[in-house]
Amino acid sequence: MPTTPPSLLIRLRDARDSHSWREFFEQYWRLIYWFGSKCGLPPRDCEDVVQDVVLEVFRAMPRFDYDRSRGTFRAYLRTIAQRKIADHLRKVARRPTQSIDDRAHGNGQLPLDDPESLAAEQLWERDWRRNLVQVCLDRVRNEVEPKTYQAFQLYVLEEWRVGDVASFLKIREGSVYTAKSRVVQRMRYWLEKEKSED
């Protein structure tokens, strides 16, 4: 499974490298937010957890020595997120207006009882893959023409019929297939690049 590129981890050792830190944030904020939400944190607390996790990674990076034999960065990040979420859940439980049983995160599912459980770990792994796909989609969206990405989004992600996409965007049906092909090709490129960095 693709993981964080070691080259990015090396660049993050330089606290002044704002480009690499922005890349790191863009790559992981959603994952951490989703995880907090699924553990039952309200949106504001999810945002706080994202900041807390990134800040802890930021503080650790100057001394961080990536050693794959000791585990993956993915597991390291999950451990930090689990700890920060547990801290916030304790705070939520102490709030007079909300008990731990009243936690709601807006997706209609019961929250995970324990952010450090096996179920939470499995959820993290699934969302890690989901987040990777989203990060690659964001990169592709910035690379291709807006109409190309829009055709792909409507046809593939939103499952419109090809004729409806063509009519809506005022393009030929063949252009919809071409857009799909271009985006899928770039997605493969970015996914393979992530794999090769591992």
Report the pLDDT averaged over residues 149-172: 94
Find the domain containing 74 and state its range.
6-128
Report the pLDDT averaged over residues 60-64: 85
Residue 1 is assigned to a structural domain of this protein: no
Q: Are residues 169 and 122 in the same domain?
A: no
Q: Are residues 152 and 176 in the same domain?
A: yes
Domains: count for the chain? 2
pLDDT digit string, tens, across residues 111-151: 566 667 777 788 888 888 888 888 889 989 999 999 999 99
Residue 82 is assigned to a structural domain of this protein: yes
Q: What is the pLDDT of residue 103?
A: 47
Q: Are residues 123 and 148 in the same domain?
A: no
What is the pTM (predicted TM-score) of this model?
A: 0.64
The DSSP-derived string for 107-156 is SSSPPPS-TTSHHHHHHHHHHHHHHHHHHHHHHHHHHS-HHHHHHHIIII
Please, what is the Cα angle at 49 between 44 and 51, to 5 degrees?
100
